[in-house]
Structures are given as C-alpha cells and as structure tokens.
Structure 1
C-alpha cells in the first residue's frame, strides 16, 4: 500500500511538471535578462584574494559574465523538488524492504548496487552543473533557468546524500568520496535561493537580488541581506585528478591551506572540521571563525582551492569608506567597502542635514534594491570595475567604483 501511494503521488507530481515546466521555459525565454545588464570582463588567474583581518576570498579567472537577478517564486522548481523528495522516500523504503528480506550475500550485493548507482548519479550532477555554468557564461542560458537548474541539482544532491547515509546505516561503507561531491552541490546561498523560489522569505536574511558570475570554467554566486553575506565559488579548472598528488599526508595538505587562509586558520578560528580523502586527492575544511564560516575544498594535484563557500556577518567585517563621494542636488552617495571585494554598504543622505534618504540602487544599470529607513543597502559587488547609481523621486546620483581589492589598512 505504501508503495502504491508513493507511486501515485509521484506520478501526479510528474504530470503536474509536464504542464508547469514548459510554461516556466517560455517565461525564461521571454523575460531573460530584461532587468539585468551583463558584463564580460577578463581577469588573471590567482590564489585567493588576500585580505587583512578577515578571510581571504577565492575569485574567478577568465572572461566573466556578471548579472544581477531576483530569485523569483517558481512553481516548476517547487514541484520538481517535491517530486525528488518523494522519489528518495520511495527509494529508501524499497532498499530497506529488500535489505530486511535478503540473505547476507544479497544484502552485500544490494548495498554495492545502490552505491554504484549513487556514484553514477553524482557524476551526472557534476556534468549537469558544469554544462549549466558554461551555457550561462556564453549567454545561451537565462538567469532564471540557470537558478532553476542549480536548485534542482542541489535538491538531488541532498536526496542522494540521504540515501547514501541510509546505506551506511545498514552496512558501514568505508570509502565515500562522493559524499564530498554531494556537499559541494549544496551551499548556504543555494539554500537561500531555493527558499526564495519556493515563495518563502525572511526579511532579515533576504535580498532583493543576487549576483551571478560565470566563466567557461567556474561560477560565483552571492546574496547579501541585512545581516549576512553568503557566497559560493567553484573554479573547476583547479581540480585535476590526472596530476600526481602534491601532498604526502593530510597534515601537509592542512599546512598548505593555512598559508592560503592564514587569518581564518589563525587566532580567528574556533576550531575546524576536516575531510581527508588522500586517495582521491581531495581535502575539505570547514572553519568557523569570529566573522562567520568558511568551507573550502583543496585539490591535491593542482594544490589549489577549487570550491569555496563563505557565510559572513557583515557587521563584523572590517570596513572603510571609499575615497570618493558623489552628490547631486540634495542627495549624497557614499560607499563603505569591506576587504577583498567583499559586500559594500551603499549610503544615501541629505547633503544639508545628513539625514538618511530612501533611494533605489542600481549597479551597472540594474536595480539591486533600495536603501531603507536607515538610508543604507548592502550589495554584493562584481569582480570588475562598476558603475553605481541611486535614484530618488527628485534626482539621480552616479558613481564609479574600482574593484581593486582593498583592506582595512589601506584606502583607494
């Protein structure tokens, strides 16, 4: 009976998707980038950007396509995520039933078969993500469809991780390198995007827009709210398992990442969790610190970080005012920056009184939000130089910002 109910519900959702998804695709095709300007800039490859008194930050290299876009509610995405969750529930029921009724030999074979299936699915997720990133970078995949794919990949990764843990609970699996790959398809920023696309919002943790940056070999996604900045960066070209491992032990890999992120692993650290997959030339570290949490994955062959996520508390970051302000009529525009091209605080005030003013904020011609009662708005900046504009009902103020990395000990 349980199987029939799950199949029926899954079939119903699949039927709904048949009608929902094409409509979503049509909307994406018609409205792609109507409110988002894109920029293609080329930058040189580098180690994580060095910052003072905060975490270093991984950046992209190559020609970057940048766009700001809202994460709008999407019925197709919501239904697809629910369908995948129900499929996982059914797979768990099916596996546990077979396992309980099987002989020892049948159980071993069942676990290996299921584990191999998970490995194949993980490989498929990796390929789908890179294909989506490349398509967005060359302009053939609109922002909303790109987000749709990322959210589904993240949801599938979560469901596969659940199924992998179920296998491990029944028959301890010694080697699970795919667990790291599944983790890299999930991140705080993708969780926020999924929440938005499901129609749920928390004003304290949400933003009007998010910043998408893609190249042929990587992506960076960031979202800035009133409290937190969440960011995910993947530089796929930094992962190469055909190159011999540079590290003869986990200890040497740890020593290396401490040179890449000295502040984070130093006095600011409150401890860390580590993943040692030396045979797969893969090392993972999650480091809580006084400003947030850093998660990184190091490739043993290249000796480079190829995946990084950051959760940063904005009021804890070092901050400095940009060296120039702009005025027009009675409105002044000022920018406070955080190191290493971190989130910026846009401030709009009355020139004569110094009181805050509400204004609409645009970056490179795209609306990214509004300054509120406090006259401030936090924004994720692009990796290149950019134009910033604020508009009130009476006037417009324009400014230009250099994207050169800054620290709290220097000014532009």
Structure 2
C-alpha cells in the first residue's frame, strides 16, 4: 500500500482563504423610494403549534422565539486557538503515518480490514464528542456563561476539528479502506459553516479584512449573521440552531415526509433534485442551491422539525424592500432593507450635491463600519428595534428602526 503521509499532511494543514468584510462598499447613488419594491409585505399564518411568516421572492429563515443576548463581535488573532487547531491537524497527520505503517505490516487482508474498521470507529466517536462540545458551547452562550468573542473562538476551533475529521475519513476511503465516507463527511459538515470559516481565518491572521459577526442567542438557540466579499461575489451568511427542535432517539421521519415538510416551509428553496440524505445519528439533511444562493437544512426525525439551518445568499440577488431616508446636518442617509431581517444597504450623500459622504456607522452604539469612498455600506440588522447613528464630518444623522420581521418557521 502506498503511504500517503505527505499528501495527508498537506490536506490537513492547508487553509483555504475566505475574504470577509463587515460592510461592503458601493456607489453613492441615493436609494429612491420606488426602487426594489419587489418584496411583498409579509403575511402570518398559524397552524396548530407552528407559526409561519410567509413572504415571497426569497427564502424563509429559521429563528429563535426570544433572544436573551444580542451583540456584534469582531474576533481577532488568537494564538491559543490557532495553536489548538494546528496541533489537531498535525496529530491527525502523524496518526495516519502510524496507521500507514501498521497497514503495510499487517499480515493479512483481515488484519488490514480490522485496522481500518477501528479507525472508522474512532472517527465516528470523535464526531459525536465534537458535536457534544458544540452543543455545550452554544448553551454556555445562551446561559450567559461566555462572551460573543469566546463563543466564536470555540466554534471556529470546532469547525476546524470537524474539517480535519472529514479529511481523515476521505483519506481512509481513498487509501482503499473499503468503506464509504459519505456519512462521516455529512456529520462532520454539520459542524462546519462559512461564518465559522471566516472566524477561523481571523484567529490565524489570514483574513484580508476584519470579520464582524452579529450574535443573537438564548437558552432556546442561536442565530449568527455575517457579510463576506470575494472577487466574484458579495454574500450574506446566516446560521440558526434551535435546541428545542432536537431530541435524542430513533428517527421515525421518512425522507419523503421530510421533503413534504420542506416544500411547505421552504417553498422558495425546495426542489426535488437536491441532495436529501439521512445520517446514522437520525438526522435528515437537505442541501440545495437556488437562484439567490445556497441552503443546508437539518431535520430531527423525533421532533419532525428543522433544528439547524445554514444559508449563504448573494447580496446582488436578494429582493429589495422599502427605503427610509433621513436628512440632517447637510447629509442625506438612505437605508434600503432586504426581506425577512436580512442585511440593509445604507448610503450617505451630501444633501445638496448628491456626492458620497465618508461616514462611520454605528448600530446601537457599536461601530459596524465606514461608508468608504463609495458612500455606502451593508449592515447586519438586529431583530429587535435598533438605532443607526451615522457620524459624518458635518454632523450626526440618526435613524430609528423598529423590530424586523423574520420569515421564519418557529415553535409557537
């Protein structure tokens, strides 16, 4: 058998860059009130114990019923987290070196099979323990035991650990271990998200721009939001987890029933040719791309509810909602919303000339970015009512925003 130690180590130690920004600049064109009126008003439907808020032209968003904590966080370099992640990857690489030697020296096919089976079992156990760690971290934040920064640091380490386990499963499969790594990769993927990848880059100092995340949580669950910019796309990332929608036990919910649920709760993002699978721990998984981005949904077969949702949406493709405009101290500030609690685009211009105005933008007193040369910035909206303060060279402009409506499927 060929020893793939070097290839494995390269796989485990490679970190793909993901550019990220808290606010994305644009042109200084003021937002007219008639622009982007393609997002109809939301309507609320109530059926049994489930409340669904339906709006057209975009995806629904899983939400938590109430948030005990809500804040922005900008994680920076963290040596301890970086050392922990790197150490895990090196340990896994050395383990494969050891396994490769054992397999080469095994005297029979049965012995080689036993070595591979033992490693698969170890990886399965590692994923189960990692998921328990993630759950404990999320609950610790919801209970007020750790800060937003600590939460994001720990989730980034868990993300990297899951990535390492998934890569190890793939390496076993490619080394001819005679096993299908799909289930292990699927379970590892549940702990990996674009936001956690962004934070991981920030911790290791590889992020091109500061990473800003809006965190909202309670004892019932967690919602994270972030913005990202690459050469090809400007994206809105959102992940939501509901503790109360998950229970331990056997899965009694079929994939066909799950698909029917998706078609009723997520009609915009549901097609019948998407990836639909069940994991060995009783979770149904749905992965799909649509004309505004990508979505991953995790359904618990015991509660028959969605307990985990990851979305990546392109800012350019999100429908636009209403525009609010305020003029103070010679500056006009316009803010255009996207539906269902999505990000909002803010533009600051000179009230007389229409030229772009450089400004610092604060949400509830927290600096979220600068408008830059283009005079615009995308901001992450809190769900509760909030205040936007725009500081310009000529003075301050203040906008008051009511609580936003999330197009969610939540327990009543």
**Band the TM-score falls in, shorter-chain normalisation:** 0.7 to 0.9
Equivalent position of 2:245 in the other structure:
238
For the pair 1:211 / 2:220, whether they are aligned, the reply is no
Deviations 1:37-90 (A, max 9, x none): xxxxxxx99667533111111112233311101121222222222211111111
Equivalent position of 2:56 in the other structure:
52
Equivalent position of 2:314 in the other structure:
313
Q: Distance in 2 between matches of 1:116 and 1:236?
A: 27
Equivalent pair of 1:209/1:369 in contact (CA under 8 Å): no
Q: 112, 121, 124: which one pairs with 1:116?
A: 121
CA apart distance, 1:207: 5.5
For the residue of structure 2 that corresponds to 1:296, the secondary structure is: strand
Deviations 1:236-287 (A, max 9, x none): 321223376233xx23322221221111125xx9x5222234x643221211
Q: Distance in 2 between matches of 1:210 and 1:130?
A: 19
- Residues 62 and 343 of structure 1: CA distance in aligned 2, closer, same or farther (over 3 Å): same
Equivalent position of 1:168 in the other structure:
173
CA apart distance, 1:326: 2.3
Deviations 1:153-172 (A, max 9, x none): 11111111122223334333
CA apart distance, 1:319: 0.6
Equivalent position of 1:283 in the other structure:
284
- Aligned pairs for 1:9-28 (under 5 A) are none
Equivalent pair of 1:386/1:403 in contact (CA under 8 Å): yes
- Residues 369 and 48 of structure 1: CA distance in aligned 2, closer, same or farther (over 3 Å): farther
Equivalent pair of 2:251/2:283 in contact (CA under 8 Å): no
Equivalent position of 1:342 in the other structure:
342
Give the TM-score taking structure 1 as reference length: 0.79
For the pair 1:73 / 2:74, whether they are aligned, the reply is no
- Residues 341 and 207 of structure 1: CA distance in aligned 2, closer, same or farther (over 3 Å): farther
Equivalent position of 1:84 in the other structure:
88
Give the CA RMSD over aligned residues.
2.8
For the pair 1:326 / 2:326, whether they are aligned, the reply is yes
Give the TM-score taking structure 2 as reference length: 0.79
Equivalent position of 2:143 in the other structure:
138
Equivalent pair of 2:153/2:199 in contact (CA under 8 Å): no
Equivalent pair of 1:296/1:309 in contact (CA under 8 Å): yes
Q: Give the number of the structure with larger relative contact order, counting CA–CA contacts within 8 Å between residues 6 or more apart.
A: 2
Equivalent position of 1:262 in the other structure:
267
Q: How many residues align?
A: 358
Q: Distance in 2 between matches of 1:48 and 1:82?
A: 43
Give the structure with the larger helix fraction. Answer: 1
Deviations 1:286-339 (A, max 9, x none): 1111111111111222221111111111011101233x4223211222211111
Equivalent pair of 1:208/1:368 in contact (CA under 8 Å): no
Equivalent position of 2:207 in the other structure:
201
Equivalent position of 1:225 in the other structure:
228
Q: Distance in 2 between matches of 1:161 and 1:370?
A: 38
- Residues 383 and 120 of structure 1: CA distance in aligned 2, closer, same or farther (over 3 Å): same
Equivalent pair of 1:332/1:348 in contact (CA under 8 Å): yes
CA apart distance, 1:143: 2.5
Structure 2, unpaired ranges of 5+: 10-45, 408-412
Equivalent position of 1:386 in the other structure:
386
Q: Distance in 2 between matches of 1:120 and 1:239?
A: 20
- Residues 211 and 310 of structure 1: CA distance in aligned 2, closer, same or farther (over 3 Å): same
